[in-house]
Structure 1
Amino acid sequence: MVKLLVGLVLTVSATSALAQGKVPLSTISNYLNGLTTVTAPFTQYNDDGSQSTGQLYLHRPGRMRFEYDPPNGATVVAGSGAVVIHDPKSNQPPESYPLKRTPLSIILDRRVNLGQANMVVGHSFDGKSTVVTAQDPKNPDYGRIDLKFAGKPLELRSWVIHDGAGSQTTVVLGALTKGQKLGSSLFNSQGGGGSNR
């Protein structure tokens, strides 16, 4: 599991309406810039056939939390310029990475401009969704992430992480709830502030 969480950081569909072709990057940028807070359940499909569930919390700009349901119990928290992975099953201390070096920074930037983001290396249409592919240009061996946007209306529905070892992890979002008040403790990089769902 830790490997998969690290893959998300180093590289970071449910019911999707039929899209009318590829959505321009400028439209996707405007959509992301229009988001303030979002909560959504997610299901993660792992390369070994296993799956896990959890809750996503997003507070733009700069903050995001992935909270995995028991028995996993792991959290991935983006805040204060860092991404911190807490794995309660590990005897190791939490792992931390600079947010600006992860693809999560693309959607958490104060002003999203996918057309100018140096991590965006692909923009395509797979028949159902517009796919924005991102990777660290300085470390392509880390892998990549494919963000999938469905419309209409336009929404981020899922992403696929391809790690450097060739494994693939898919995260599918449930219904997005927008505009809720989210407490700052959710994004405490020390790992506290669980939602107590």
Structure 2
Amino acid sequence: MKHLRVLILPLLWVALSLPASAEKLSLNKISAYLNKFTTAKGGFTQINGDGSISTGMIYIKRPGRIRFEYNPPDKSVVMAGGNTVAIFDGKSNQPPEQYPLKRTPLSIILQKNVNLATAKMVVGHTSDGKSTTVIAQDPKHPEYGKIRMLFTANPVELRQWVIVNDTGGETTLILNEMAKGMGLPARLFSIDQEAQSRGFSR
């Protein structure tokens, strides 16, 4: 349960196989990429705060919806829909923990119109010659934590992110190759339907 909570509420920064060189992406270009990013699905590898590793499938439907399904034997699901995040712990018979989406750093990339140029939203914007890293936070509520995103260029792609909570705890999510632009059923992001399928009433 601990590693699921850290994913949403906020250590390792894992090196990827990246191009030999790449331009530093501007905040406007990254914002444009995220705003065109409507639906996607693919595998992920999650490095938890205790050093353990989890894998699974991620589904994204912007704005406001995301779903993490963990591979067996873990039956856990973390999802956001209806402005709420729900954590279904596969090892628990308790109803899901729920939080307002706006209190998590993921809300930054799931909002309808992403504008990283907003004053004080971006607190870090660097390039190592292979990729561009952007650290963003809610400028009105920095206490909600930060999200550190790594992008590659040509074409622009989001490769991984790190959720950093208010105490500095980190959880890394590395994205596999993502398929984009497909239709995704609404049930994937329905907290009510997920709860009912597990025998809970919201």
Q: 1:79 to 1:57 in 2, by over 3 A?
A: same
- The farther-off stretch of 136-145 and 173-182 is 136-145
Deviation of 1:175 after TM superposition, in Å, equals 0.5
- 1:73-103 alpha-carbon deviations (Å, 9 max, x no partner): 2111111111111112134431111112211
Amino acid at match of 1:69: N
- Confirm or deny that 1:93 pairs with 2:116: no
- Confirm or deny that 1:147 pairs with 2:149: yes
Gaps of 5+ in 1: none
The sequence identity of aligned pairs, in percent, is: 52
| Structure-2 separation of matches of 1:151 and 1:130 | 8
User: What do you get for the CA RMSD once the two structures are aligned?
Assistant: 2.4
Aligned to 1:187: 189
Q: 1:118 to 1:187 in 2, by over 3 A?
A: farther
Q: 1:67 to 1:19 in 2, by over 3 A?
A: farther
Q: 1:19 to 1:189 in 2, by over 3 A?
A: farther
Aligned to 1:178: 180
| Structure-2 separation of matches of 1:3 and 1:108 | 23
Aligned to 1:8: 7
Amino acid at match of 1:10: L
Q: 1:117 to 1:56 in 2, by over 3 A?
A: farther
Gaps of 5+ in 2: 198-202
Map 1:121-136 → 2, pairs under 5 A: 121-136=123-138
Q: 1:150 to 1:95 in 2, by over 3 A?
A: same
Aligned to 2:200: none
Q: Is the 8 A contact 2:60 2:67 kept in 1?
A: yes
TM-score, L = length of structure 1: 0.85
Amino acid at match of 2:48: N
Aligned to 2:73: 71
| Structure-2 separation of matches of 1:4 and 1:142 | 17
User: Runs ≥4 in structure 1, deviation > 4 angstroms?
Assistant: 136-143
Q: How many residues align?
A: 192
Aligned to 2:38: 36
Aligned to 1:116: 118
- 1:154-182 alpha-carbon deviations (Å, 9 max, x no partner): 10000123344544322111111011110
Q: 1:40 to 1:14 in 2, by over 3 A?
A: farther
| Structure-2 separation of matches of 1:74 and 1:117 | 37
Task: Mark the structure with the bigger radius of gyration.
Answer: 2
- The farther-off stretch of 154-163 and 172-181 is 154-163
| Structure-1 separation of matches of 2:156 and 2:193 | 32
- 1:106-165 alpha-carbon deviations (Å, 9 max, x no partner): 111111111117543222224432111133556656643211111221100001233445
Aligned to 1:60: 62
